[in-house]
């Protein structure tokens, strides 16, 4: 078997895991899936590319400006499309439509402003996409850094959940009313989660841009498999999302290398379907009972 499959799987898997984690950040305190998440990833890439190439900002400044901008958009989305729905009913699902609407608005606006042409984003020096051989694998320094950063970011987020604020988020995720009785403000946490989830989506876009190029077609490409990684890894579980992201990435790479045309994509969804049929709560979730 081609050893490069592993490299391809890790590259794609890192991106899927990052999208899945950005879903989780929003989901935990709100129980809301943000269907605009793919477009926030794309917006992050486009803003960063524009900041770097058009405005000529240095890498760190363009990064911070993009995170702030996409995070603020996430916050605005919470105000406009999510909070009013949840204010009416905590179990309402109107956010499916409203977050999709935000997705369409962002996609149209970005297409209108930047057009369809992809923009080249180079990795920050000293990282590069130039390949070298190591132990029979064809690697490049950016892919190694991407995988390492993905793991580090997941570890950092997991650590953040051990802080007081993080525990408050987990408490809200567990029981919103009980958390409210303990003096936790779920609305404030919801706003923060949308800001951080937006910023994280922006960061994912920035990290994906050197590999996929910044373009309007980025969002849908990452949304579906990122969502699949979140579901397979158990919704809300970031370590699960990381492992599921790599599982999907490697499955996809194996499919592309070994299977006949037409089955390559199907095999990814076959794996996702099999996992969810056997473990509907995902690989790392615990089965729960609910009184009805």
Partner 1 sequence: MNPGPTIRFRRDGGISRRSLLQTATAIGASAFAPGFSAYAQQQAFKIGWVRPTTGRLASSFAPLYLGGLIAIEEINAAGGILGRQIERVEEDDEASPAKEPGIVRKLREQDVSVIVGPTGSSQSLASLAATTQAKILQSTYAAAAEAGDGKKYPYHYQLMFNTDQQADVCATYMAKTLGLKKIGILQENTAFGEQAAVSTKAILQKKFGLEVASHQVYPITATDLSAYVANLQKAGVDGVIAWIANVPNAAMIFNTMKTLNWFPPVTGHSGLMLPALFDLVSADAVKNVLATYYRPFTWTDTEQPGLRQVAFAKRLAQFPEAKGYEVNVAASPYYDFIYLLKSAIEAEKSFDVEVLQHALSSVKDFKGLLGNISLTAHNHCGIDITDVVLVSIASGQDARAMGCMRARAPNQ
Q: Contact between 2 and partner 1 (CB under 8 A)?
A: yes
Q: Of 251, 266, 268, 263, nearest to 5 (Cα)?
A: 251
Q: Contact between 201 and partner 1 (CB under 8 A)?
A: no
- The secondary structure element, H or E, covering residue 134 is strand 131-134
Q: Contact between 141 and partner 1 (CB under 8 A)?
A: no
Q: Contact between 158 and partner 1 (CB under 8 A)?
A: no
Q: Contact between 111 and partner 1 (CB under 8 A)?
A: yes
Q: Contact between 12 and partner 1 (CB under 8 A)?
A: yes
How far apart (Å, rounded) are the C-alpha atoms in residues 39 and 45? 10
User: Which are the contacts of 274, defined by CB distance < 8 A and separation ≥ 6?
Assistant: none
Q: Contact between 59 and partner 1 (CB under 8 A)?
A: no
**Which span sits near partner 1 by CB under 8 A: 24-32, 73-81, 234-242, 249-257?**
249-257
Name the minimum Å distance from CB 39 to partner 1: 10
Q: Contact between 52 and partner 1 (CB under 8 A)?
A: no
How far apart (Å, rounded) are the C-alpha atoms in residues 52 and 58? 7
Out of 165, 185, 217, 274, name the contact with partner 1 by CB under 8 A. 217
- Name the percent of the chain in helix, strand, coil, to the closest 5: 70, 5, 25
How far apart (Å, rounded) are the C-alpha atoms in residues 213 and 168? 38
How far apart (Å, rounded) are the C-alpha atoms in residues 145 and 152? 10
Name the minimum Å distance from CB 252 to partner 1: 8
How far apart (Å, rounded) are the C-alpha atoms in residues 232 and 244? 6
Name the minimum Å distance from CB 211 to partner 1: 7
Maximum Cα–Cα distance across the chain: 58
- The alpha-carbon radius of gyration of the chain (Å, integer) is 19
**Which span sits near partner 1 by CB under 8 A: 73-81, 109-117, 166-174, 190-198?**
109-117
How far apart (Å, rounded) are the C-alpha atoms in residues 277 and 113? 43
**Which span sits near partner 1 by CB under 8 A: 27-35, 67-75, 107-115, 179-187?**
107-115
Q: Contact between 112 and partner 1 (CB under 8 A)?
A: yes
**Which span sits near partner 1 by CB under 8 A: 73-81, 106-114, 174-182, 228-236?**
106-114
In the block, tokens 């579980």 appear at: 237
How far apart (Å, rounded) are the C-alpha atoms in residues 7 and 207? 16
Smaller CB separation from partner 1, 64 or 129: 129
Q: Contact between 54 and partner 1 (CB under 8 A)?
A: no
Out of 72, 128, 141, 264, name the contact with partner 1 by CB under 8 A. 264
- Residue pair 130/140 in contact (Cβ under 8 Å)? The answer is yes
Q: Which residues bind partner 1 (CB under 8 A)?
A: 2, 4-5, 8, 11-12, 15, 107-108, 111-112, 115-120, 131, 138, 208, 211-213, 215-217, 220-222, 224, 249, 252-253, 256-257, 261-262, 264-265
């Amino acid at each position: 078997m081609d050893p490069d499959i592993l490299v391809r799987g890790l590259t794609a898997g890192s991106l899927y895991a990052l999208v899945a984690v950005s879903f989780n950040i929003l989901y935990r305190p709100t129980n809301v899936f943000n269907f605009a998440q793919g477009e926030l990833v794309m917006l992050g890439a486009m803003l960063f590319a524009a900041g770097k190439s058009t405005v000529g900002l240095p890498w760190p400044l363009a990064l911070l400006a993009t995170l702030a901008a996409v995070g603020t958009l996430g916050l605005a989305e919470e105000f406009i499309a999510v909070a009013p729905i949840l204010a009416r009913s905590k179990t309402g699902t109107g956010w499916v439509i409203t977050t999709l609407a935000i997705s369409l608005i962002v996609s149209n606006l970005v297409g209108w402003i930047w057009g369809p042409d992809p923009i080249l984003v180079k990795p920050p020096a000293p990282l590069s996409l130039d390949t070298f051989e190591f132990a029979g694998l064809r690697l490049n320094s950016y892919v190694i850094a991407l995988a390492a950063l993905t793991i580090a970011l997941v570890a950092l987020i997991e650590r953040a959940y051990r802080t007081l604020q993080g525990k408050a988020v987990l408490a809200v995720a567990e029981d919103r009313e009980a958390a409210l009785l303990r003096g936790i403000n779920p609305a404030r946490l919801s706003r923060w989660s949308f800001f951080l989830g937006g910023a994280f989506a922006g960061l994912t876009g920035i990290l994906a841009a050197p590999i996929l190029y910044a373009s309007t077609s980025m969002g849908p490409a990452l949304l579906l498999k990122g969502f699949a990684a979140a579901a397979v890894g158990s919704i809300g579980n970031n370590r699960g999302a990381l492992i599921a992201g790599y599982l999907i990435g490697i499955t996809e790479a194996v499919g592309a290398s070994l299977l006949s045309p037409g089955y390559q994509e199907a095999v990814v969804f076959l794996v996702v379907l099999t996992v969810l049929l056997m473990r509907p709560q995902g690989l790392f979730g615990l089965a729960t009972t609910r009184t009805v």
